[in-house]
């Protein structure tokens, strides 16, 4: 009898707990596995499949088992979860896209033509910028333009 595969959400909970328990930052983990910071966090929270060598490095670093590594290697199901409406930070991203999404779409079409921004050939970054009125959160989406082919 084989052991069932650990759900990605369970693996994520174990990773977060081990990271906190060991006093590690997400940046330290990303550096250890030689991966972009935001991608690393998203992947370890279950939103990307993690290559085998990186999954192994993470579980060794955090003292977790093969079940977590196996879960990390699996392809995720990407659907909004309850945090989309219950977590204020995540909700603000939804709110920002609700307000500005149609305008951004119009501007993309005006600048590039008929097409979309890829979320596969894509980079995302986050930075802190000092401001006299309070520090600012700067989020950068950098996606390849994919023109519509008739």
Give catalytic residue positions.
92, 95, 118
Question: How many CA atoms does the CB half-sphere of 100 hold within 13 Å?
Answer: 8
Distance CA 93, CA 95 (A): 5
CB-CB contact of 149 with 113 (8 Å): no
Length, in residues, of the chain: 150
Distance CA 3, CA 7 (A): 12
Report the SS3 class of residue 45: coil
Contacts of 60 (CB under 8 A, 6+ apart): none
């Amino acid at each position: 009898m084989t052991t069932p595969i650990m759900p990605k959400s369970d693996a994520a909970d174990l990773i977060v707990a081990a990271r906190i328990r060991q006093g590690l930052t997400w940046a330290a983990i990303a550096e250890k596995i030689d991966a972009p910071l935001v991608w690393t966090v998203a992947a370890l929270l279950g939103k990307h499949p993690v290559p085998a060598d990186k999954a192994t490095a993470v579980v060794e670093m955090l003292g977790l088992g093969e079940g977590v590594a196996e879960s990390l290697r699996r392809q995720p199901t990407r659907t909004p979860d309850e945090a989309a409406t219950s977590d204020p930070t995540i909700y603000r991203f939804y709110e920002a896209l609700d307000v500005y999404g149609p305008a951004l779409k119009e501007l993309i079409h005006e600048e590039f033509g008929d097409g979309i921004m890829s979320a596969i050939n894509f980079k995302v970054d986050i930075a802190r910028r000092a401001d006299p009125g309070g520090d600012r959160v700067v989020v950068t989406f950098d996606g390849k333009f994919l023109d519509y082919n008739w």
